[in-house]
């Protein structure tokens, strides 16, 4: 994401968000469905835990990662990248 956002903040944020959004949403949905299987348990505590955790994962995958993080990236611009002075493109490529 950082390499895409280095040139133009808003367009880089948009391209990065679109590229990552689909995989984040699918992963969040899969994890939520896996955790939601606890809702079939006989124990009320396990049912509550499964449904609550599944809802938390869905909220995180949709609202936080799809809307809040790209919005913060656009608002903060280059200040969003805390290590902007300490690493160059070769360091980023090797990670």
Break the chain into its structural domains and give their ranges. Answer: 32-79
Mean pLDDT of the chain: 75
Could you report the per-residue pLDDT of 11-35, keeping only the tens digit for each? Answer: 666 777 777 777 888 888 888 888 8
pLDDT band per the 50, 70, 90 thresholds, residue 5: very low
pLDDT > 90? residue 45: yes
Can you tell me whether residue 87 is helix, strand or coil?
A: coil
What is the model's pTM?
0.59
Please count the helices (runs of H) and the strands (runs of E) in the chain: 5, 0
Could you report the per-residue pLDDT of 64-79, keeping only the tens digit for each? Answer: 887 887 788 778 777 7
**Model pLDDT, residue 83:** 59
pLDDT > 80? residue 81: no
**The tokens of 78 are what?**
């280059």
With contact defined as beta carbons under 8 Å apart, do 67 and 33 qualify?
A: no
């Amino acid at each position: 994401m950082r390499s895409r956002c280095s040139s133009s903040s808003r367009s880089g944020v948009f391209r990065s968000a679109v590229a990552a959004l689909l995989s984040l949403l699918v992963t969040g949905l899969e994890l939520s469905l896996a955790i939601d299987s606890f809702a079939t348990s006989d124990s009320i505590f396990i049912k509550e835990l499964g449904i609550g955790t599944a809802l938390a994962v869905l909220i995180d995958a949709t609202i936080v990662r799809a809307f809040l993080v790209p919005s913060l990236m656009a608002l903060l611009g280059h200040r969003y990248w805390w290590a902007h002075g300490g690493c160059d493109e070769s360091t980023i490529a090797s990670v």
